[in-house]
């Protein structure tokens, strides 16, 4: 295969990006699954190095590892119920243990522990639940003897790169159509040339022409991956978030509950990705037996129930935010503003300042029921609202405001009433 130079490779993948990423840009919400030997141990997915385990001692976890058959179906069922559209599984995390029947890596779940191909079960479950499929693959490896030597020993680097490529070739050859390749931690080399990423990614793409690749092989590739924070980027981006701010791998469910997200916090994150035009890849760390962690079940199923009624504000392309009144957030798509009501005004009316575009219709997103309103210069007043919060799932009621054209908002900097009839020209967008 003829290997293109970096600029040629990058312009080629840029030319196919819109088509390849069409589904992903609509999807908005996916599930990250961190599952491996660290789940068995239950301390943190970095435990092997953070607790400085001797390799032989850590390897014992591989024999004890015994997820129940069908666990990936539980993950997929929960992802589906949550309104997620895709899943990304840690096929092999930094600990170096492969969750599939690998020829390149004998340290795997078919030779040890469950003696089953967990990746196969995962892929089957995704297909059963109609979820797109992603493989996380670590470049850093704490188990492989060449991994750290790569930095100074070129022979070791060559062997290790062959190893990485062989692993990913298996994953992208033996499991049918795969949608995402999600690289992580490109250490010890600190440049794409050291990782030979331009050539390897071209060869891997040849196996899965529609695949989407993230930015963690020291190349920009298809999308950015802000971690543990939802920060919009000017390109395609996907924020990956733990469920508790502590660990990607399983932690004792009882103890982690107070640190874990509830449905409101998850919807807040979805609001940020909707406004910023990105995706949310929300993690769960399954328990040692592979079951979904208890603390995630209700928040995620409630999120799904809420999205079933209000998903229009999330799914699909587009980005934009607009100021509201501090009790809610506004996202914009074309002529429409979605109002995410965090705190419902119990006095029966809601005022939104600064709108200079004609409002045609206001309604509840969940039911379509219209809302009475008045519009004066620079102010919309929604009227006759119920005192009780309408949304019963999360207490977050969504309103849909349909304007004549893409809404413009002009705020007075201070006391608008002092400006009388004069045009106020402080524009915020
Ligand atoms: C970090 C961590 C890793 C986790 C990943 C997810 O880079 O090293 O444990 O898998 O983030 O984004």
pLDDT tens track for 329-348: 999 999 999 999 999 999 99
Q: Please say whether the beta carbons of 61 and 155 come within 8 A.
A: no
Buried b (16+ CB within 10 A) or exposed e, 147-157: bbbbeeeeebb
* pLDDT one-digit tens code per residue, 347-364: 999 999 888 899 999 999
Cα(207)–Cα(176) distance, rounded to whole angstroms?
Answer: 10
Cα(181)–Cα(215) distance, rounded to whole angstroms?
Answer: 10
Q: Please say whether the beta carbons of 280 and 239 come within 8 A.
A: yes
Q: pLDDT tier at 425 (50, 70, 90 boundaries)? A: very low
Distances (CA, A) of 232 to 22, 130, 229, 248, 279: 19, 28, 9, 22, 10
Q: pLDDT tier at 423 (50, 70, 90 boundaries)? A: very low
Residue 301 has pLDDT above 80, yes or no: yes
Cα(167)–Cα(159) distance, rounded to whole angstroms?
Answer: 12
Based on the number of CB atoms within 10 Å of its own CB, is 101 exposed (0-12), middle (13-18) or buried (19 or more)?
middle
* pLDDT one-digit tens code per residue, 234-250: 999 999 999 999 999 99
Q: pLDDT tier at 408 (50, 70, 90 boundaries)? A: confident
Cα(176)–Cα(103) distance, rounded to whole angstroms?
Answer: 18
CATH superfamily of 6-313: Glycosidases (3.20.20.80)
**Which region holds residue 334: left if phi is over 0, alpha if psi is between -120 and 50, else beta?**
left
Q: Please say whether the beta carbons of 318 and 277 come within 8 A.
A: yes
Residue 427 has pLDDT above 50, yes or no: no
Residue 323 has pLDDT above 90, yes or no: no
Q: pLDDT tier at 310 (50, 70, 90 boundaries)? A: very high
Residue 251 has pLDDT above 70, yes or no: yes
Q: What mean pLDDT, rounded, does the chain reach?
A: 95
pLDDT of residue 377: 77
Please give the number of the atom of ligand 1 that sits closest to the Cα of 46. Answer: 9
Cα(269)–Cα(169) distance, rounded to whole angstroms?
Answer: 34
Q: pLDDT tier at 273 (50, 70, 90 boundaries)? A: very high
Average pLDDT over residues 135-151: 97
Domain boundaries, the chain: 6-313, 320-416
Ligand 1 pocket check: which of 93, 182, 241, 248 to mutate, most ligand atoms within 8 Å of Cβ? 248
Average pLDDT over residues 203-213: 98
Whether 227 lines ligand 1, by a CB cut-off of 6 Å, is yes
Distance 227 CA to ligand 1 centre (A): 8
**Total-model pTM:** 0.95
CATH topology of domain 320-416: Immunoglobulin-like (2.60.40)
């Amino acid at each position: 295969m003829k290997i293109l130079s970096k600029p040629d490779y990058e312009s080629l993948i840029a030319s196919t990006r819109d088509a390849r990423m069409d589904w992903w840009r609509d999807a908005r919400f996916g599930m990250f699954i961190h599952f491996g030997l660290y789940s068995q141990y239950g301390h943190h997915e970095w435990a092997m190095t953070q607790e400085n385990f001797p390799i032989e001692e850590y390897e014992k976890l591989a024999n004890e590892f015994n997820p129940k058959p069908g666990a990936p179906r539980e993950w997929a069922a929960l992802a589906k119920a949550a309104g997620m559209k895709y899943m990304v599984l840690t096929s092999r995390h930094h600990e170096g243990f492969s969750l599939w029947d690998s020829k390149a890596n004998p340290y795997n779940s078919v030779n040890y522990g469950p003696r089953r191909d967990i990746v196969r079960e995962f892929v089957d479950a995704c297909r059963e639940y109609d979820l797109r499929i992603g493989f996380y693959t670590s470049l850093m490896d704490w188990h492989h003897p060449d991994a750290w030597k790569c930095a100074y020993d070129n022979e070791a680097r060559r062997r290790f790169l062959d190893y990485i490529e062989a692993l990913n070739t298996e994953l992208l050859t033996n499991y049918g159509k795969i949608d995402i390749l999600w690289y992580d931690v490109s250490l010890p080399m600190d440049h794409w040339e050291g990782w030979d990423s331009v050539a390897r990614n071209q060869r891997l793409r040849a196996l899965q022409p529609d695949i989407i690749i993230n930015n963690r092989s020291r190349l920009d590739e298809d999308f950015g991956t802000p971690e543990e924070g939802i920060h919009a980027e000017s390109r395609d981006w996907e924020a990956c978030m733990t469920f508790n701010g502590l660990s990607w791998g399983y932690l004792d469910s009882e103890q982690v509950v107070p640190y874990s997200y509830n449905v409101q916090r998850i919807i807040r994150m979805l609001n940020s990705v909707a406004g910023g035009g990105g995706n949310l890849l929300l993690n769960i760390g399954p328990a040692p037996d592979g079951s979904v962690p208890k603390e995630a079940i209700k928040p995620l199923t409630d999120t799904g129930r809420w999205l079933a009624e209000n998903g229009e504000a999330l799914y699909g392309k587009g980005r934009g935010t607009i100021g509201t009144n501090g009790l809610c957030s506004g996202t914009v798509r074309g002529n429409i503003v979605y109002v995410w009501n965090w705190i419902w005004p119990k006095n029966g009316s809601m005022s939104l300042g600064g709108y200079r575009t004609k409002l045609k219709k206001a309604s509840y997103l969940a039911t379509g029921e219209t809302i009475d309103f008045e519009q004066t210069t620079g102010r919309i007043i929604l009227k006759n609202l119920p005192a009780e919060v309408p949304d019963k799932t999360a207490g977050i009621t969504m309103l849909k405001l349909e304007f004549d054209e893409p809404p413009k908002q002009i705020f007075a900097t201070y006391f608008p009433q002092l400006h009388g009839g004069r045009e106020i020209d402080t524009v915020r967008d």
